[in-house]
A and B are shown apart, each in its own frame.
Chain A
Amino acid sequence: MATAAAAIPQRSRGARFQRGLQPYLYLVPAFAVMAVITFYPLVFQVWMSFHDFGQINFRVRNPVPAEFIGLDNYIRIATSKLQIPNFEFVRLVLFNLWWAFSNVVVHIIIGVAVAVILNTQGLRFRGVYRALFILPVVIPQIIVATVWRNMFDPDAGAVNLGLQGLGGIFGIPASNPAFHLNWLRQAEDPISWIPLPLAFFAMITANSWLGWPLNSVVATGALQSIPGELYEAADMDGASPWQKFKNVTVPFLRPAMLPYAIYGFVITFNLFFLPYFMTQGEPFGRTEILVTQAYRLAYERRLFGVAAAFAVYLFFLLLIVTLVTNRLAKATKSYAD
């Protein structure tokens, strides 16, 4: 990489020193700001996590020095011994991982399927479809979450009303209990051998509505890069549509979709809006994820020390997730080559 600086003729020692300093002058504003409002708070958070830190320790008038309690906060979180209802750390982590994984799988399947259909040669109106399908992405997420919460309302939500209308066509009375499901709060699991509440299925529906269009955009880009001759060659060899998809399309999709899938996993893992605004963690905290739980610990319960320790756990979990997914990406990449 030849930098512009190298081309400038050497002048004096002073000028050279100034040039050596210059990169840092460009960085000073950003890093000064980050030092105060990002890095310092992060260090302070680690300090907090080892203390019994509550409201009295930081109030403006006579704050009390916080008591050092070592790893107590961490142990209480890991053993689920917090003074709050419905808190089970292991279940929370497992649900969070499953939430991210299941969403990414659904998003990719729908996204790729729609991209493949839209990429069919000779299809009419594809520009119109592509423009319409991006609509979920342009709506602010807090609105998406609150609107879906209203849609899943047991009495007046569009989902139940729609099901009643659909049932009416087949002569099923609207009073049928199947059309009055309490989607976001029902305590019993809909499928007895799968330990997931009904709210999870409502949430994954809402998030799929939100998530597949971007996957479709990425997949479309990859599909456009496939040379048409490959399909013609496959046609001549008498390949079936499925064989063409498996042996021509998928190898071209993989290098583009894999990094996006990893990115989607991390984003969904930390997706605050749906669990917080749509299900509010119901029923019984079973749709809570780590970020919403951390926020609740601080904002609603005012357990600042515990919340700090929780955020440190979150940091390490994310680090593990990032390292593992990068590892997997590399492994599958060498397999693909």
Chain B
Amino acid sequence: MTAPATTATTRRVLERGVRARGGGTSERRLSIGRQILLQVLLLFVTFTVLFPLIWIVSMALDPRNLARPDGLNLIPPGASLESFQKVIAQPTSNPISFLDLALNSLKIAIGSSAVAVGIGILAAYAFSRLKFRGREALMIAVLGVLMLPAVATIIPLFIFLNQFQIKFGELSFNLRNSLIGVTLAVISAQLPFAIWNLKGYLDTIPKDLEEAAAVDGATQNQIFRRIILPLSIPAIAVTGFLGFLGGWTEYLTVAMFVSEVHDWTLSLALNSMVGQFARTTNWSQFAAFAILFALPVSVVFFIFQRYLVGGLAVGGVKG
């Protein structure tokens, strides 16, 4: 498998691209005619990029709280936040508020990304720095699973988790039909990516510090805790956020595993708002919900994009 080698090239190229963001050093002058031509082209591209976003915002702000838009009014007359109020109270016909939906999404996102990164960094350290028998074979096992789409493991996981009837005092539930089961399934998809992404970062840290520490008599565990762990905090943050993003928007497992309305997540509610038929969709509320759903993660992503885009382009998150 040549994936690690090729992605190393991509990573290097990306880093160069990110560094070059500031613009070139020796600027040649551009003739006014060509400048205008290129600006017009780029404005057109900007328009296509922004159009869906403006459309959603304008629908959400429309004061008439439209069941359906009646025209292409990008700036609705007398914008209001009424749709936002409605979806925060109760976005779907089911008795669950936006906050409860967000809380469930948050549980999956934090649980899965914390576990995946927490045990992923240990394995990544072993793969990046330690010599041991079976290293290649175990790494291929991780990469092989990484290649598989989430759908490929979801079917047996459903049946496997369904066997566990958890009794905990008063509490009695089926592991499959719970957010814990969903989180386990999400971890299954995220862990190989976390290991691989963190290993890729650890490989770029120079070994001088560790060698000096080893000469001074530091043990392997000390080297990991005192040198590697502090140095890899950026990679842990990036991998953790990408995992968080995956958990926050997880749909497949939640839809298949969970049957109680109180376990619903944001993505499930969003899909049910679009509905089987577009005619029954309340467009203003759908748009308001989509914005509330996307905004927290999109803003973080946008601010830290220079660190995150590289990870996405190289590794990606499983759908």
Contacts and interface: CB of A to CB of B under 8 A. Distances in A.
Q: Specify whether A and B are partners.
A: yes
Interface of A: 2-5, 7-8, 19-20, 22-24, 26-27, 29-31, 33-34, 37-42, 44-45, 48, 58, 60, 114, 117-118, 120-127, 129-130, 132-143, 146-151, 153, 155-158, 161-162, 164-165, 209, 213-214, 217-218, 220-222, 224-225, 228, 255-256, 258-260, 262-263, 266-267, 270-273, 277, 291, 294-295, 298-299, 304, 307-308, 311, 314-315, 318, 322, 326, 329-330
Contacts of B283: 150, 156
B305 interface: yes
Most buried by A among B22, B42, B115, B148: B42
Contacts of A298: 154-155, 158, 256
Interface residues of B, dominant DSSP: helix
Nearest to B39: A124
Interface residues of B, number: 125
Contacts of B294: 139-140, 143
B55 A151 contact: yes
B237 interface: no
B46 A45 contact: no
5 contacts: A37-B184, A38-B191, A157-B278, A218-B14, A272-B149
Interface in B202-219: 207, 210-211, 213-215, 217
A38 to B, nearest CB: 5
B108 to A, nearest CB: 14
Given A121-B28, A132-B50, A151-B55, A218 B20 contact: no
Contact of B319 (A34, A150, A273, A304): A273
Contacts of B274: 146, 149-150, 277
Contact of B55 (A2, A4, A158): A158
Interface in B4-44: 6-7, 9-10, 13-18, 20-24, 26-30, 34-35, 38-39, 41-42
B239 interface: no
Contact of A122 (B29, B42, B153, B267): B29
B50 A135 contact: yes
Nearest to A262: B6
Most buried by B among A8, A29, A138, A326: A138
B35 A221 contact: no
Given A130-B21, A156-B278, A217-B313, A123 B305 contact: no
A147 B211 CA distance: 53
Main DSSP-derived SS at the A contact region: helix
A218 B17 contact: yes
Interface string B119-149: 1101101100111100100100110010111
Contacts of A255: 9
Nearest to B317: A141
A130 B18 CA distance: 11
Interface stretch (B65-73, B85-93, B96-104): B65-73
A217 B123 CA distance: 30
A122 to B, nearest CB: 3
A24 B10 CA distance: 30
A322 B207 contact: no
B174 A60 contact: yes
B159 A58 contact: yes
Given A58-B159, A140-B249, A314-B149, A209 B52 contact: yes
A121 B24 contact: yes
A140 B245 contact: yes
A146 B153 contact: no
B48 interface: yes
Given A58-B159, A147-B56, A221-B16, A126 B23 contact: yes
Contact of A123 (B30, B119, B141): B30
B270 A150 contact: no
Given A30-B191, A120-B30, A255-B9, A45 B155 contact: yes
A117 B152 contact: no
B264 to A, nearest CB: 14
B299 to A, nearest CB: 8
Given A140-B249, A146-B290, A259-B9, A3 B130 contact: yes
A2 B152 CA distance: 39
A300 to B, nearest CB: 10
Nearest to A3: B131
A237 B39 CA distance: 29
Contacts of B17: 217-218, 220-222, 224
A27 B312 contact: no
Contacts of A42: 145, 148, 152-153, 156
A26 B126 contact: yes
Contacts of B9: 255-256, 259
Given A58-B162, A147-B56, A314-B152, A133 B20 contact: no
A29 B278 contact: no
B290 A147 contact: yes
A117 B42 contact: yes
Contacts of A225: 13, 16
A8 B302 contact: no
Contacts of B221: 22
Contacts of A308: 155-156
Nearest to B55: A158
B259 interface: no
B211 A2 contact: yes
- 3 nearest CB pairs, A to B: A221-B17, A122-B30, A259-B6
A220 B215 CA distance: 43
B219 to A, nearest CB: 8
